Amino acid sequence: MNTAQKMTAAATLALVLLQPLASQANPQHDRMRNCNKTAKEKTLKGDERKAFMKTCLSGKHADTAALAAAKPVAATKPVKK
C-alpha cells in the first residue's frame, strides 16, 4: 500500500468514526424539539406561539421543566385502590 492509499484509508476511517459525534443532538436542539412539539399540541399560532416559544426556549415555561425532567419509565400495572 502506498502513501496516498494509506492517507485515503486514514481519512475515510476518521470520517466514519467522527460521524456519530457530529450527529448527536445537543440540549438546545432537544429543547427546541420539545417546545415545537408542545406548541403544536396546543395549536398555538402567531404572537401566542411566538411568546410561548420565547419562554419555553428560555427554560422559564412550566412545560419545559416537565419535558426536561421527563424520563422514559418502564410500563407497570396500575395500582388498584
**pLDDT over 50 (residue 15):** yes
When pLDDT is averaged across residues 56-79 and rounded to a whole number, the result is: 58
Does 26 score more than 60 pLDDT?
yes
CA–CA separation, 69 and 39 (whole Å): 18
Question: Among 8-12, 48-52, 66-70, 75-79, which range has the highest average pLDDT?
Answer: 48-52
Please state the rounded mean pLDDT for residues 15-35.
74
Domain ranges of the chain: 25-60
pTM above 0.75, yes or no: no
- Per-residue model confidence (pLDDT) at position 80: 62
Q: Residue 39: which residues within 8 A CB-CB, separation 6 or more?
A: 49, 52, 53, 56
Between 60 and 45, name the one with better pLDDT: 45
